A and B are shown apart, each in its own frame.
Chain A
Amino acid sequence: MAKHHPDLIFCRKQAGVAIGRLCEKCDGKCVICDSYVRPCTLVRICDECNYGSYQGRCVICGGPGVSDAYYCKECTIQEKDLRSNISPKRSNLPTFAQRDGCPKIVNLGSSKTDLFYERKKYGFKKR
């Protein structure tokens, strides 16, 4: 999802043994590129993102998870680096994924609302 919402932020802490989940709506998506084809590597998230009430939540939208999340083959081959628009210097985030770190989206709540106002600010009509 983050591919199409540039303001979403990945957790990117060192991934652990916890397995990422996806909700019914996001089921089948690659957590990086939103592809529905060729799921390949199981997503691991960090222990904090799997803690307490976060356990079993959707990696992308925070909804109740129904299935395991996967990276698609393409993202696996590319060792899908963190999104290329965040350079490590600027973001101050650790720079690694499962190879890059935990792909859980951490700023979900605010970004959707922000998006609404951002659109409004620039006068986009709501479709």
Chain B
Amino acid sequence: MFLYNLTLQRATGISFAIHGNFSGTKQQEIVVSRGKILELLRPDPNTGKVHTLLTVEVFGVIRSLMAFRLTGGTKDYIVVGSDSGRIVILEYQPSKNMFEKIHQETFGKSGCRRIVPGQFLAVDPKGRAVMISAIEKQKLVYILNRDAAARLTISSPLEAHKANTLVYHVVGVDVGFENPMFACLEMDYEEADNDPTGEAAANTQQTLTFYELDLGLNHVVRKYSEPLEEHGNFLITVPGGSDGPSGVLICSENYITYKNFGDQPDIRCPIPRRRNDLDDPERGMIFVCSATHKTKSMFFFLAQTEQGDIFKITLETDEDMVTEIRLKYFDTVPVAAAMCVLKTGFLFVASEFGNHYLYQIAHLGDDDEEPEFSSAMPLEEGDTFFFQPRPLKNLVLVDELDSLSPILFCQETGVMAVYPQYSHVRLCYSRLHCSAERIADLANEDTPQLYVACGRGPRSSLRVLRHGLEVSEMAVSELPGNPNAVWTVRRHIEDEFDAYIIVSFVNATLVLSIGETVEEVTDSGFLGTTPTLSCSLLGDDALVQVYPDGIRHIRADKRVNEWKTPGKKTIVKCAVNQRQVVIALTGGELVYFEMDPSGQLNEYTERKEMSADVVCMSLANVPPGEQRSRFLAVGLVDNTVRIISLDPSDCLQPLSMQALPAQPESLCIVEMGGTEKQDELGERGSIGFLYLNIGLQNGVLLRTVLDPVTGDLSDTRTRYLGSRPVKLFRVRMQGQEAVLAMSSRSWLSYSYQSRFHLTPLSYETLEFASGFASEQCPEGIVAISTNTLRILALEKLGAVFNQVAFPLQYTPRKFVIHPESNNLIIIETDHNAYTEATKAQRKQQMAEEMVEAAGEDERELAAEMAAAFLNENLPESIFGAPKAGNGQWASVIRVMNPIQGNTLDLVQLEQNEAAFSVAVCRFSNTGEDWYVLVGVAKDLILNPRSVAGGFVYTYKLVNNGEKLEFLHKTPVEEVPAAIAPFQGRVLIGVGKLLRVYDLGKKKLLRKCENKHIANYISGIQTIGHRVIVSDVQESFIWVRYKRNENQLIIFADDTYPRWVTTASLLDYDTVAGADKFGNICVVRLPPNTNDEVDEDPTGNKALWDRGLLNGASQKAEVIMNYHVGETVLSLQKTTLIPGGSESLVYTTLSGGIGILVPFTSHEDHDFFQHVEMHLRSEHPPLCGRDHLSFRSYYFPVKNVIDGDLCEQFNSMEPNKQKNVSEELDRTPPEVSKKLEDIRTRYAF
């Protein structure tokens, strides 16, 4: 088995975010790292939308990210600390839209190791040096400079190692132009290590250490070290030099402290806490991230606590001596992994979990009633300030970036799965595993859906993903009849927005003007009493309307020139652009008009008679700076498309021809694939290729490259779009041309980040469309659907999935699908959380305490306050749920309708009962009833692990699967972490025990047990009599159930220790599994495996029959190994497109969705193996990690070809593409066609 890995959706969680002027213009951009992906985002200051400019997978773990700028420079560079043992400096090249590796210096071994630097990065604020540090011991300083040609140079590393020290955080201290200085939070563990009594360990203090880079001596010295009172978690640089007092802010538990090098006294301020907080009062409070804003005259910091409250921190200074720290409650947003304040007044919040946000800073919080806390206020040690959290006041949400991270569970329900082999197995398989495969498509759409349980705590949700582009409906208006066509025109070529919408009916034309409102006008000059075939802006400011009896040319001063068709002929088809009009008269006669410099529309002297009737025509837009488009494409009844020259030298001469499998319906020539550029003069232009899109009557879309010189057609790509004839319309998307193709679904073909996308729109069927630009909607679409006119906008270009999210209460752990009603049964469990009941109780208790604590005369006031506190209900999804403390669990079981997303039933478990597993099954002794079994742990403490036991709750599904009726609960001695239906009974993994239970009257009845699983059963799969148990740490164990003897017997296991998170059966002998380190493997039992083995209670079996070290005697073989790079939490074998082949779909914790697809032929495999090989050497990963070694992180990669790397072929430079494809005996388009083919065969 050879597999090909493809990412359908890249990871969405953000681990780092930095901002700077990476493209060298005034505009600020954000670079984010998503684990192994580097992405450049540009927030548009006008619309407030965040656009992705570039996404690159780096095939390595990005551990730190920093932006720096050389003194006096205008462009920011990116320094990346990764697991490659190298420091990499990247520059963004806006002209090529790529990151260029300027420097890559090797300093150590690869991998995330203790003493190899890469974990922390700090730059000198003046951009003179960068420090890269490991978690322990090693720190290297690189000096950055410029050479004579103003290129960035990097020095040899200078060592600042200190043995036996751990590092917590490193920042560059702003010292102006003095020697660069770095501040580190360190801890020396040498004494603690040598003291067996543990006394030294208890007394070890964290230190703040300053390292100075002496630029004169070219040496780093450990300048100064000072023990800290509290344990700090991170540092914030305070602007220095001419901008501020310099120094650092140390964020530690409950306190924020200002320290500076020298004899300045420390300034310390407690971190304010929420008034009447339900959190564990013993729990300290820390800041988790911060952002600095600095202008010439002022600076401030925004720091966020772990509850999500942002404080604005300002420093009061007296002649460059800090005298006071002031904190002011700013606003509360979801807890962030990183924040960036932009110069344009935006705050980018990269959330730790869930969606990311862009806020506009509406107020700086300077003049409101919000109290300000200061270090100068007298407070007892251990006391702190209190504030009242409130909804947003200073921030305004402007954009939200969808993020699935973390995905905890996913199930794809779509097209019926077919098992060609093992038909006998299929029967029992589908009977037992009815959940996944029997439900074709819960919502009865023709597209498969992915049900994804994602998020954490109160921010979690169940999202339904469908392949398609999200469409936002801007307006829908009804029209007096069913229109046939719609166009938009501008009034002047310089206009930014469209002026008219022209709607054509069977016998009339309606003209609507676009302004504040859209209303009908009659003075536009258009002929209203006839249907329209096409209309357009002609020249600078004239309009043209083509109708069956002639052409109407409307000049800017409303003079009208008409051209009438000769005799009885009418115009059947036409094609127009800014300067040219071509019409086809009945009988296949072509007449060509071109605008002359005086603005007159002139007919070309000759006409051209086509061999057959014309079905469709298309003209390209006139290229900038040219007089005409040189090609006319004509589709004829005889199943051909012909390219006709419009060049004056050989006007109306045929150039080339393409035969089609069916009759064409529509044509569209567009220029695509060019990168949008803006040169210094502000001239916009793009260099792309001309593509001829051909929509056929049988619902197929062909895309062909049109040679801009000869008019030759080559490199045809085919896609089936739907059951209806394909109509094509040219629209503009992100400043480029795109094609809207309409069949039974509407599709958009566009180029995005130098890759072609053909994505369906998640919207109803449309009939006709045209581009639309207005002030409210600069890049929209106006479309007709039956008798309505719709204005639509497509904002999330590049997104593969369209999401619908339904909120949940706690972190969803697992769900199952009830096969009859298609309802989902979800278990949600959170650690460190209160159940609703406990929360209400705690609140009541606190309110009572408030009243009691008040004095006699304040009692009334206190009662009022208590009532207000009880009524206060801030949404937990933003303000966070109260943290209850270690060992506190809350759980619910929810029955949800996946289509409407409404909760049908909700069962709250008691405090400290944590649901871990769920199954829906039938019991053979109870007939047709469905039961839901939920495995619950009681009083589980994770570290050091202890558990008071567990329960299996049994519910009966009643009311057609809408309600859970509690039946009984069965106590067990350990955590029941896996439940699977098995032959009319259930298999339950209780800790390390595998048991068969049957349904009883008072509880579940234990029928059979196996005690030989190594550690903890994390999953159970069954097929026939075989049970495949995944152990939390010891891979898979194959167990056979012997019905007659009522025994569960282990007959095979795996040879590797895999920490299995999830597994999926591929066939009777084969299982695919994923582990917690981000690997996917497929293991298979060899064909001669005997599962008829007997238990050997007497021990008299020959020694060699038993496995080594208590393992099973038979071993599974590894079929494939692959390192994904993100922890995979769900695996499923399924089909993603209707009529497509099966693939293995996986989802990762970081929010990525990928598939592994099998190769169908040896040639394909061979080809892609070579593509991968060449790309590994020609296009090495950006952060310096070797691709092969990354994919072999834990196990050597086996039998998998990395499609993500292969697809980077498209983003290589053309000459390199040529080299690689020459090595493969192909041309670059052929290679990219192959890449596209394998993707579209299985997915999208």
Binding site for B on A (CB under 8 A): 14-18, 44, 46-47, 77, 79, 81, 96-100
Q: Which residues of A contact B154 (CB under 8 A)?
A: 17
Q: With A and B bound together, what is the CA distance between A99 and B140 in angstroms?
A: 14
Q: With A and B bound together, what is the CA distance between A98 and B109 in angstroms?
A: 8
Q: Which residues of A contact B106 (CB under 8 A)?
A: 15, 44, 98-99
Q: Do B110 and A17 touch across chains, with their CB atoms under 8 A apart?
A: no
Q: Of B85, B157, B1188, which contacts A99 at CB under 8 A?
A: B85
Q: With A and B bound together, what is the CA distance between A67 and B108 in angstroms?
A: 25
Q: Which residues of B contact A17 (CB under 8 A)?
A: 105, 154-156
Q: With A and B bound together, what is the CA distance between A14 and B158 in angstroms?
A: 8
Q: Do A77 and B157 touch across chains, with their CB atoms under 8 A apart?
A: no
Q: Which residues of B contact A81 (CB under 8 A)?
A: 109
The B91-128 residues at the A interface (CB cut-off 8 A) are 105-110, 116
5 contacts between A and B (CB under 8 A): A15-B106, A15-B156, A77-B1189, A79-B110, A96-B107
> Given A14-B159, A17-B154, A96 and B108 touching (CB < 8 A)?
yes
Q: Is B998 an interface residue, CB under 8 A from the partner?
A: no
With both chains docked as a complex, state the minimum distance between the C-beta of A127 and any C-beta of chain B, in angstroms. Answer: 39
Q: Which residues of B contact A79 (CB under 8 A)?
A: 85, 109-110
Q: Which residues of A contact B140 (CB under 8 A)?
A: 14
Q: Which residues of B contact A98 (CB under 8 A)?
A: 106
Q: How large is the interface on B (under 10, 10 to 19, 20 to 34, 35 or more residues)?
A: 10 to 19
Q: Of B109, B110, B156, which contacts A46 at CB under 8 A?
A: B156
Q: With A and B bound together, what is the CA distance between A67 and B156 in angstroms?
A: 21
Top 10 A-B residue pairs of the complex, sorted by shortest distance between their CB atoms = A16-B156, A99-B109, A98-B106, A17-B156, A47-B156, A96-B108, A79-B109, A99-B85, A99-B108, A14-B157
Chain A residue at minimum C-beta to C-beta distance from B85: A99
Q: Is B1067 an interface residue, CB under 8 A from the partner?
A: no
Chain B residue at minimum C-beta to C-beta distance from A48: B156
Question: Can you add 4 more A-B contacts, CB < 8 Å, to A15-B106, A99-B106?
Answer: A18-B156, A96-B107, A97-B109, A99-B85
Is chain A's binding surface mostly helix, strand, loop or mixed? loop
Chain A residue at minimum C-beta to C-beta distance from B1186: A77
Q: Which residues of A contact B157 (CB under 8 A)?
A: 14, 16
Chain B residue at minimum C-beta to C-beta distance from A44: B106
The B59-117 residues at the A interface (CB cut-off 8 A) are 85, 105-110, 116
Q: With A and B bound together, what is the CA distance between A47 and B574 in angstroms?
A: 73
Q: With A and B bound together, what is the CA distance between A98 and B155 in angstroms?
A: 15
Q: With A and B bound together, what is the CA distance between A44 and B109 in angstroms?
A: 14
Q: With A and B bound together, what is the CA distance between A16 and B116 in angstroms?
A: 16
* Most chain B CB within a 10 A radius of its CB, from A14, A46, A100: A14
Q: Which residues of B contact A18 (CB under 8 A)?
A: 156
> Given A14-B140, A77-B1186, A77-B1189, A99 and B110 touching (CB < 8 A)?
yes
Q: Which residues of B contact A96 (CB under 8 A)?
A: 107-109, 116
Q: With A and B bound together, what is the CA distance between A98 and B154 in angstroms?
A: 16
Q: Which residues of A contact B155 (CB under 8 A)?
A: 16-17
Chain B residue at minimum C-beta to C-beta distance from A73: B1177
Q: With A and B bound together, what is the CA distance between A44 and B108 in angstroms?
A: 12
Chain A residue at minimum C-beta to C-beta distance from B107: A14
With both chains docked as a complex, state the minimum distance between the C-beta of A73 and any C-beta of chain B, in angstroms. Answer: 10
Q: Which residues of B contact A77 (CB under 8 A)?
A: 1186, 1188-1189
Q: Which residues of A contact B1189 (CB under 8 A)?
A: 77
* Most chain B CB within a 10 A radius of its CB, from A44, A77, A99: A99
With both chains docked as a complex, state the minimum distance between the C-beta of B221 and any C-beta of chain A, in angstroms. Answer: 17
With both chains docked as a complex, state the minimum distance between the C-beta of B669 and any C-beta of chain A, in angstroms. Answer: 47
With both chains docked as a complex, state the minimum distance between the C-beta of A74 and any C-beta of chain B, in angstroms. Answer: 13
With both chains docked as a complex, state the minimum distance between the C-beta of A7 and any C-beta of chain B, in angstroms. Answer: 25
With both chains docked as a complex, state the minimum distance between the C-beta of A69 and any C-beta of chain B, in angstroms. Answer: 14
Q: With A and B bound together, what is the CA distance between A97 and B86 in angstroms?
A: 12
Q: With A and B bound together, what is the CA distance between A125 and B893 in angstroms?
A: 85
Chain A residue at minimum C-beta to C-beta distance from B103: A17
Q: Which residues of B contact A100 (CB under 8 A)?
A: 109
Q: With A and B bound together, what is the CA distance between A99 and B115 in angstroms?
A: 12
Q: With A and B bound together, what is the CA distance between A44 and B157 in angstroms?
A: 12
Mask: chain B, 145-164; 1 = CB below 8 Å from A; 0 = not: 00000000011110100000
Q: With A and B bound together, what is the CA distance between A81 and B116 in angstroms?
A: 14
Q: Which residues of A contact B107 (CB under 8 A)?
A: 14-15, 96, 99
The B1040-1088 residues at the A interface (CB cut-off 8 A) are none
Q: With A and B bound together, what is the CA distance between A107 and B936 in angstroms?
A: 67
With both chains docked as a complex, state the minimum distance between the C-beta of A49 and any C-beta of chain B, in angstroms. Answer: 11
Q: With A and B bound together, what is the CA distance between A78 and B156 in angstroms?
A: 24
The B469-509 residues at the A interface (CB cut-off 8 A) are none
Q: With A and B bound together, what is the CA distance between A99 and B87 in angstroms?
A: 12
Q: With A and B bound together, what is the CA distance between A77 and B107 in angstroms?
A: 15
* Most chain A CB within a 10 A radius of its CB, from B107, B154, B159, B1188: B107
The B149-192 residues at the A interface (CB cut-off 8 A) are 154-157, 159
Chain A residue at minimum C-beta to C-beta distance from B161: A94
Chain B residue at minimum C-beta to C-beta distance from A18: B156
Q: With A and B bound together, what is the CA distance between A14 and B155 in angstroms?
A: 12
Q: Which residues of B contact A14 (CB under 8 A)?
A: 107, 140, 156-157, 159
Q: With A and B bound together, what is the CA distance between A22 and B841 in angstroms?
A: 78
Q: With A and B bound together, what is the CA distance between A16 and B141 in angstroms?
A: 11
Q: With A and B bound together, what is the CA distance between A79 and B109 in angstroms?
A: 7
Q: With A and B bound together, what is the CA distance between A97 and B159 in angstroms?
A: 15
Chain B residue at minimum C-beta to C-beta distance from A41: B106
Q: Which residues of B contact A99 (CB under 8 A)?
A: 85, 106-110
Mask: chain B, 1177-1219; 1 = CB below 8 Å from A; 0 = not: 0000000001011000000000000000000000000000000
Q: With A and B bound together, what is the CA distance between A77 and B157 in angstroms?
A: 23
With both chains docked as a complex, state the minimum distance between the C-beta of A48 and any C-beta of chain B, in angstroms. Answer: 10
Chain B residue at minimum C-beta to C-beta distance from A79: B109
Chain B residue at minimum C-beta to C-beta distance from A96: B108
Q: With A and B bound together, what is the CA distance between A16 and B154 in angstroms?
A: 10
Chain A residue at minimum C-beta to C-beta distance from B108: A96
With both chains docked as a complex, state the minimum distance between the C-beta of B141 and any C-beta of chain A, in angstroms. Answer: 11
Q: With A and B bound together, what is the CA distance between A96 and B159 in angstroms?
A: 13
Q: With A and B bound together, what is the CA distance between A99 and B113 in angstroms?
A: 13
Q: With A and B bound together, what is the CA distance between A86 and B109 in angstroms?
A: 17
Chain B residue at minimum C-beta to C-beta distance from A99: B109
Chain B residue at minimum C-beta to C-beta distance from A42: B106
With both chains docked as a complex, state the minimum distance between the C-beta of A22 and any C-beta of chain B, in angstroms. Answer: 19
Q: Which residues of B contact A46 (CB under 8 A)?
A: 156
Chain B residue at minimum C-beta to C-beta distance from A81: B109
With both chains docked as a complex, state the minimum distance between the C-beta of B115 and any C-beta of chain A, in angstroms. Answer: 9
